[in-house]
Structure 1
Amino acid sequence: MAPEMATEQVGRSGQRPWRRPLVLGTVGSVLILVGGLGAAAGAVRDPLMSEGPISWMRYGHGKMLAALVVYLGYVLLVTAWVRLGRHVLAGRAGTRPVLLAAACWTVPPLVAPVALFTRDVYSYLAQGAIALQGFDPFTVGPTVLPEPEFIENVHPFWQSTPAPYGPLFILLVKGIVAVTGTNIVAGVLAVKLTNLLGLALLLWALPRLVRHLGGSLPVAAWLLVAGPLTVVHLLGGPHNDLLMVGFLAAGTALVLDRRHVAGIALVTLGVAVKASAAVALPFLVWVWAGHLASAGWRAFARACAGAVAVFAVVFGAVTLAAGVDLGWVTMVNASSRLVNWLSLPTAAGELLHAVFGGLLDLSRDPFVTVTRVLGTVLLVVVLARQWWAARVGGVAAVRRAGVALFAVAVLSPTMLPWYLTWALAIAAAWAWKPRQLAVAVGLSAFMAAPYSPEGETMLYVWGLMIAAIALSVLAAVSLVRPDPLRLSERS
């Protein structure tokens, strides 16, 4: 523990110093809710915001003010999260206060009838409507729908794009649209409530993962459940990644507990939501093999055969229930249409273009294409090396799976802020050092900056990016050094 933390006083907060961060974060979360009504991605024909008494928040100066309120709320939320983290690391806050804070911070984004920092949820609803009306969501986009309510809310960039998600998620959103119909606001709230299943699975899995991986439950809950990536992006978004990482974490915990069939089945359900969860399966085969009485490649062959059989049965059953085929496999890279520098290979291509493209009067595309190909090659090498090193089985294989998931997030052609939760669903249960947590805090805090509250990219607004990076560094340092700017006489 950092020496600065050991000397931080409990002070005027009495015996429960975590109360102030809890209240501060709740205020920030409520401000995000209030500002989000005008600045976030709301339904086009929302009766409250389109023509109601507070519709002014969606236009002109009203919208600018609403956006400022969202950002102010986010700053307060992150400040509270960092302060709570200091109490957790100093042993002044346990798991219950962290979960209480997470609950208070989660409710406002959960009940907000808008999508925060994204418009993806409207694509989800359109894909559910496509399946419900008998079209193939893996070959056609929202533009085939006769109802304008679905099409007009999908971001124009994605209106002709088929669904890149698995059959289980199509089945879920198909059911949601069957209930909510063309009431888009109700559909958004229903998707958020459905995502609570993923959160429940995470809460169930974390204690078990911590027991195996040697971490701290208060730290894991603070980092993952109470963190802004979950509160603002996964729940406030909402993003189906929360369902995926819930199945992934729960399945991994079961495999570590030697309940291999059930564990592989749950991770398979995660794959049936979003294909990224499949990265963990080869690593979990090593864990299963390590638990068998036989040794060497014989154990691996038995575990591999068992895992493949479980995957085939579960995935096949879900596919049949959803009434779709395997066409979604061809769409898993749909996000690669996006070009942003959060992806390391894409960032390298853009940097090279900035240096040489102007001199040679060349388009950005060939630079980005080449670096993305090289990034894919590097990713394959990293995954292969991590998988081979995981052959010892046990918790070492699970840790390697976390590294592999992080590599997939940052080395793929496109990276989006909430992709970091893929690895964090496992890595949160590791034994973290304070300085490592500070890096995680800085990354998490920054991840609201890449997109505006209504989901438009801000990555090339360089003044905003510089300010966001500076504030994120301040948040990171503040975890291990209270008052790093020396603004308090007590410091």
Structure 2
Amino acid sequence: MAWVWPVARAAGKRVSVPMLTGKHAPASARPGMRTFAVKSSGANESASGLSGKRVSTPALGRRNASLPAHTRKRASAARSPGRGASAVGLAGSVLVSLGAFGAGATPRHDPVLSGTVLSAVRFGHGRLLATAVVYLGIFLLISAWVRLGHSARAGQVNARKIVRTTWMWCVPLLCAPPLFSTDLYTYLAQGVVAHAGFDPYTRVAADFPGPITDNTAGDWLRIPSPYGPLQILIVKSVLSVTGDNVILGALLTRLAMTAGLALMFVAVPILCRRLGARAECALWLATANPLTVLCVVSGGHNDLLMIGLLSAGAALVITTLPGLGFVLVALAAAVKAPAAVALPFLWWEWARRRSGGRISVRGYGFTFVAAVSVVVATIGLCSVVAGVGLGWIRALSGNSMLKPWLSASTSAGKIVGVLTDDSAEAVAVSRIAGCVALVVVVAWLWWRSRAGGAGVVRGAAAALFATVVLAPVALPWYFTWPLVLGSAAAWPVSRVAVAAAASAWLVVSTHPDGKSLLPPWGFGVLAVASIVVGVLTMHGKFARPGDAGGGRVVASTFEGSSLPINGFSCHSCESACRSGCGAQGS
């Protein structure tokens, strides 16, 4: 027996009809059959031949009980596409959350498990078992994500389904210790300085010993905070409620950061309508991505709030309210400075709208003054409310003591240092060269975006990617900065496969406790596994009929249109796409 899932689209509507074929097909289409009328406008005939006709399928209720068990199971999956992927991902998320209590970035003095028999999961064989549970959960979550991507590509799940699934995967992680990073404790330690009435941009957490600063990584104890005033205000407010309770403080801080995820759920579909991508595919790539779920959400990184505000601001700038959009992007920069990279790009769109699409010195000058005023006023207000100054700008270079291999400039310096026996000098010179190259690349991208429109969002995404790669410091979750804006553009499937493989690789490039790198053999295994993820993303081997868009899935296209329904491109505006809205086929 074969299952076919024909999809008919006409006049912005879709009717999906599961049909039985082969030896199980009934001899007559009339007795015990349900019929569905497929509406169609005369202009567009469905390539599957379903338009304007009546298609008969067997009732999937009581009369289906006589079918074999595996047939009934497939019929149930066909009625709820993506349900299996969501459930598998949830199981993986729960396993990761349970394993995090032993293998994650747990606090040193944990009142929950300390002194109980369960504390054995943090030492010796118990810790090894917890680590194995974490990696098993990661495998399930990544495989479910790939399968869900095929459902999105085949048009079997919508944006709401992706949003619900992402929340489903995130909730267990929000109740567990952070993974792959100890930054959440660093935020609280820097908040201790501000809560005590001192400037976190001149004083360091090491001067304030206590239960919170005890959990902070050594290097971050001795450098001022490099984060903006809004970030300081958030952790300062959290500590005013939780006091010295490390666990409650970490939970509330991470919950505050998830506001960025909610903003992304709203902003990404708006950006997709302007840039030509499908909302469900963009949300799958940006928000349901294991890199976002396991690193950014679980780790409680302020990057989540930054990219949420940035995407919401960009959506407002390219639609109706550029002034309010600049306020949101300024707030994003007040959380973490890299968001400011997008401001010059978005200014092009504001200036173009103000000038009516013409090059006007008066219009461009007015919007420049307005944009600068909005940004200065927003960041200034945040600084006043937080009770801090602008020292965070000077403190941005504080994390330069980190030398991560993900930064191209830092890695190049390390390689040269091995050859010259002067690693420190080589890294310093290489970082300077990287910064110069970054300025040149961003300036070039900015000038190319001067026409405004959707190009400013693409340019901003490319500039953020260049910032991650060429800046002196790059960490795995930094790659979510360009991914959120870039996902709103139509991507060829081959590029999506590369992004999926890279995401899987970045997720587990560090140990779950965030304090150590994988051994050399671990990177080899990880490289092979990431390539497998990329291949499966492109070819759909994780897919199952009725669940993930693979197997025998058949998707129709409009007659006379090159727009594929089952590709990572726009299918919500046929007429606009025919006139060149920027969508690309897969």
Q: Same fold (TM over 0.5)?
A: yes
Partner of 1:249: 311
CA contact (8 A) 2:163 2:265 kept: no
Aligned partner (choices 224, 243, 257) of residue 162 of structure 1: 224
Residue identity matched to 1:467: V
Partner of 1:487: none
Partner of 2:366: 302
Superposition deviation, residue 446 in structure 1:
0.9
Superposition deviation, residue 352 in structure 1:
3.0
Aligned partner (choices 89, 111, 122) of residue 47 of structure 1: 111
Matching of residue 372 in structure 1 with residue 431 in structure 2 = yes
Matching of residue 143 in structure 1 with residue 210 in structure 2 = no
Aligned partner (choices 383, 388, 391) of residue 319 of structure 1: 383
Gaps of 5+ in 1: 485-489
CA contact (8 A) 1:205 1:253 kept: yes
CA contact (8 A) 1:201 1:250 kept: yes
Partner of 1:382: 441
Superposition deviation, residue 17 in structure 1:
3.5
Superposition deviation, residue 170 in structure 1:
0.2
Alpha-carbon distance in structure 2 between the residues aligned to 1:351 and 1:87: 43
Superposition deviation, residue 217 in structure 1:
0.4
Partner of 2:535: 477
* Paired-residue identity, %: 41
Aligned partner (choices 505, 509, 513) of residue 450 of structure 1: 509
Mapping of 1:287-366 within 5 angstroms? 287-293=349-355, 295-296=358-359, 297-354=361-418, 356-357=419-420, 362-366=421-425
Which stretch shifts more, 287-296 or 223-232?
287-296
Partner of 2:466: 407
Residue identity matched to 2:207: V
Partner of 1:286: 348
Q: Deviations over 1:342-401 (max 9, x none)?
A: 1111222223334x24xxxx1322222222221111111101101111111111122101
CA contact (8 A) 2:184 2:300 kept: yes
Query: How many residues are aligned here?
Result: 473
Alpha-carbon distance in structure 1 between the residues aligned to 2:203 and 2:511: 28
Partner of 2:54: none
CA contact (8 A) 1:335 1:414 kept: yes
Matching of residue 58 in structure 1 with residue 85 in structure 2 = no
Which stretch shifts more, 298-307 or 250-259?
298-307
Residue identity matched to 1:405: L
Gaps of 5+ in 2: 7-17, 20-70, 543-550, 553-586
Partner of 1:462: 520
CA contact (8 A) 1:449 1:465 kept: no
Residue identity matched to 1:120: D
Partner of 2:162: 98
Give RMSD over aligned pairs.
1.9
Residue 507 of structure 2: SS of its match in structure 1? coil
Residue identity matched to 1:44: R
Partner of 2:284: 222
Aligned partner (choices 256, 264, 268) of residue 194 of structure 1: 256
Q: Deviations over 1:114-170 (max 9, x none)?
A: 111100000101111110101110112111114x20221001121111111000110
Q: Deviations over 1:96-126 (max 9, x none)?
A: 22122212111111111x1111000001011
Partner of 2:182: 119
Residue 424 of structure 1: SS of its match in structure 2? helix
Residue identity matched to 1:376: C
Superposition deviation, residue 219 in structure 1:
0.5
Matching of residue 236 in structure 1 with residue 295 in structure 2 = no
Alpha-carbon distance in structure 1 between the residues aligned to 2:117 and 2:395: 42
Residue identity matched to 1:261: G
Residue 43 of structure 1: SS of its match in structure 2? coil
Residue 301 of structure 2: SS of its match in structure 1? coil
Residue 14 of structure 1: SS of its match in structure 2? helix
Residue identity matched to 2:466: A
Residue 307 of structure 1: SS of its match in structure 2? helix
Q: Deviations over 1:403-438 (max 9, x none)?
A: 001110111111111111111121111111111111
Q: Deviations over 1:210-249 (max 9, x none)?
A: 1111111000111111111221111100100011111100
Alpha-carbon distance in structure 2 between the residues aligned to 1:411 and 1:16: 44
Moved over 4 A (4+): none
Alpha-carbon distance in structure 1 between the residues aligned to 2:122 and 2:238: 27
Residue identity matched to 1:116: L
Residue 180 of structure 2: SS of its match in structure 1? coil
CA contact (8 A) 1:258 1:288 kept: no
CA contact (8 A) 2:355 2:364 kept: no
Select the structure that is richer in helix. 1
Residue 335 of structure 2: SS of its match in structure 1? coil
CA contact (8 A) 2:329 2:340 kept: yes
Residue 126 of structure 2: SS of its match in structure 1? helix
Alpha-carbon distance in structure 2 between the residues aligned to 1:54 and 1:304: 59
Superposition deviation, residue 87 in structure 1:
1.4
Which stretch shifts more, 173-182 or 312-321?
312-321
CA contact (8 A) 1:450 1:457 kept: no
Alpha-carbon distance in structure 1 between the residues aligned to 2:394 and 2:116: 43
Alpha-carbon distance in structure 2 between the residues aligned to 1:407 and 1:273: 20
Superposition deviation, residue 299 in structure 1:
2.6
Q: Deviations over 1:61-107 (max 9, x none)?
A: 11111111111111110111011111111222221221222121111
CA contact (8 A) 1:254 1:263 kept: yes
CA contact (8 A) 2:457 2:486 kept: no
Which stretch shifts more, 363-372 or 181-190?
363-372
Alpha-carbon distance in structure 1 between the residues aligned to 2:81 and 2:315: 32
Alpha-carbon distance in structure 1 between the residues aligned to 2:191 and 2:439: 33
CA contact (8 A) 2:108 2:214 kept: yes
Mapping of 1:415-430 within 5 angstroms? 415-430=474-489
Residue identity matched to 1:370: V
Residue identity matched to 2:199: D
Alpha-carbon distance in structure 2 between the residues aligned to 1:289 and 1:92: 40
